[in-house]
Structures are given as C-alpha cells and as structure tokens.
Amino acid sequence: MSLSDVLWIGGNPFLAAGLIRLARLRSTGGLRDSFLHGLTMSVVIAWLFGQFLILPAAQNQHFSPGVALAVLYPVANVLLFVAVSVLAFSPGAKGGPVRFLILAVGLELLGDLFESTMPIIFPTMSDDQISRFDGVLLLGNVLLICTVLHHGAERFADPRPHDRRLHPARVVFLGVAMLTLPIMAALVTVTLLSRISLICSAVLLTSFVLARFLRVVRDQERVRDVLAHQAEHDMLTGLANRPALIARLTAALARPAGYGPVIYFLDLNGFKQINDRYGHAAGDLVLVEFGRRLTGALRPGDLAARLGGDEFVVLAENLTGEADALALAGRLRDLVTEPVRDGDHRYEIGASIGRAAAGELAEPTADALLATADAGMYAEKIARRSLATPGRTGEQPREVALDLAVLSTGGLPPAD
C-alpha cells in the first residue's frame, strides 16, 4: 500500500461529504428520498464488489496490506457512489455546473473502478497498461475545473424548489436495483459466505424500497387530505366555505326540529376603509382575527363559514327558541367590541348581523334561510348609516323603521 493509495482512499470520504453537503444546501425539502434512492442502488453495487472483488481477494489469504487495499478501494467507491447518487437525485436543476460536477465525480469513480478491477479480471496486465486508465481520471479533473469556471458557479449552492414528482428515471433506477440481485444469484456460483451476503443485501434492498414506497404513499395521503380540506374550507381564515355550509345546512334542515337551525349573516363594518387606508395585508389580518374570534364564540356543533370578502355566516343548531337565538346574536356582536391590534396599529371594526330561523319560515330551504338572513343584515347596515346621518327633525325615516322591523322579526316586514 503506497502513499498515493492512502491519500486516494482517504480523500473519498471528504469528497463524498462535500457532495452531500452541497446537495443539502441546494435542497429545500430534505434529502431523505435522495438518500433512499442512493442507498438502494448502493446495496447492489456493494454486493457486486463483495462478490467479485473483496471475496476473491480475501479468500484463503491472511490479512495483509494488499488484502486491506482490495477491501478499502471498493468500500470507498461505494461511499462515493452514494454521494453522487444523492446529488444526482437531490432537488434542483441538473444543468450547468451541476452536470459537470456529476460527470467529473462519475469519471473519477469509473477510472478508480477500472484501475482496481483490471488486475483481477486480467491478471496478465502490466502496471503500464493499467496506468492508461489514468486518462479517465484526468478527464474527470478537467470537468471539475469546468465546474468551477462555469458562469453559474456562484449560484451553485442556491436553494432550489423541491419537486415532489417521481421522475421515471427513479423508477427505472429502483427496478434495476431490484432485478440485479436475483439475476446475479441465478448466474453465479454462490458459496455459503456469498449466500449470507446475498440474503443480507436482499433484506437491505427490500427495506429501502419499501421505505421509499411508504413515503410516496404518505405524500399522496397528505396531498389528498390537503385537497379535501381546501375543497371545504376558506383558504385565508380556515373557516368552512359556501359549499360546505350549504351541505351542512341542507342536512340540518332534513332533520326534524322545532325551532330549526338558525342562520346568522355577518358583514364587517369599516372593513373597506381599513383595506383602502392600510392595504390588503391589514385587511387579511382583520379577517383572520375575526375568524378566530368567531370560532371561539361558537357552541359545540355550530359552524362558522366565510362566503367571501368580509361576509361570514354562522349556522347554529339545537336552539330552543328565540331567546337562545338572541343570546347567541349578542355574543356574536360582542366579537367586534375590541379592535384588532397589529403592533402599534388598531383597527376598529363593527358588524351588521341578520338572522333567520327555519321555524319562522313557511318553506325553509338553505337558499331561503341565507337570503332572509342576508336581507336582515343589509337592513341593519342601512339603518346604521341612516342613524349616523339623521334628518333635520330627528325623526326616523320610513326606510329605517322598515329595516328595524326586519331585525325584530328576523325576516322581511309585512307589506302595507
């Protein structure tokens, strides 16, 4: 074992660590999947090295520097192969300097493999003939220089978006790994030691493949859960959306009840002014905070929904009568007594509320309840505006009286 062997074998772990560190810097979603792909094929490579390089070199021989060299070179090559695989399968673009680096390390690995296997495959080859493979190593060094001189080298380690799609090349990669061991087991004469190593390698290979398959399944389940949640919830506040509200209200109306489900239609007062003065980010903050307050004020079994903009709806079931309905309306109105705070900013908001109960309608349907509650909310909003700018005599205009009648009945006033 010469000094060059020691330096070459000892340098591979540092090179592998550098490649993995680079892949980690480029990845924003983790390297677990890339490691599983690299380890899967590395099990096969390690078994092939053990079967055709390590075992023949160590069989019926005492430990010596030559035997140690025959063992350490394949081990270092497998370690480097894992690092190259992790970088190749890590997220991010593979063009430019990344391509040069992968090709450079791949050629270094290939040249090292040639020089370590040729004496075993062709025992009659001289050192001069084997040294001809140094050209492969030199080509790898040239590509390393190209990596450094590439115009995109300064952005080489920039984080890249994580692509969750399973590339077809990865499927082929796993398929080749799974087929190699059984095919080689059928073609070669397997000794007891080789059979043990084959069984261990098959167990490791199966474990890595199953782990990768399990991660794919869990990723699909998480995506399905996210899509199912998005289909029934508002993206900003997390409350139920209109389709979820209609489905819940329709189901509640199908169940026999005395007073029936009650709908509260809420619209925030002053929200447009906050949006215009402080921007949409402040408006979103107000909506999220009001949604949080709304959720905290509900009883078990009630549902809060956002229909869009600053319009919210509360579906309350199991109310015993108008007294319970008015009490809940009072709690909802108390949600806007405190301003929404964001650091030094205070956002004052109010709420107009309309109410509709199924027991108060002749033909209660989901659309009828929502329309009646919406009309009550709008009537209260008009009444507030009218009271804010009273006439000269201080008397209530007829529109305000009608609007207040809507509020008191929870529906539209009777015609004159």
Residues in CB range of 350: below 8 A, 6 or more apart: 268, 269, 270, 336, 384
Q: CA-to-CA distance for 111 and 66, rounded, in angstroms?
A: 19
**CA-closest candidate to residue 309, choices 371, 262, 266, 369:** 266
Coil/strand/helix, residue 6: helix
Q: Which residues are catalytic?
A: 310
Q: How many CB atoms lie within 10 A of CB 95?
A: 10
3-state SS of 270-334? CHHHHHHHHCHHHHHHHHHHHHHHHHHHCCCCCEEEEEECCEEEEEECCCCCHHHHHHHHHHHHH
Spatial strand order of the sheet with 303-308 comes to 303-308, 311-316, 262-269, 350-357
Coil/strand/helix, residue 126: coil
The owner of tokens 């062709």 is 122
- CA distances from residue 330 to 206, 351, 352, 401 in whole angstroms, order as listed: 62, 11, 12, 21
Pairing state between β 350-357 and 345-347: unpaired
Q: Are 291 and 239 in contact (CB under 8 A)?
A: yes
Q: How many CB atoms lie within 10 A of CB 117?
A: 17
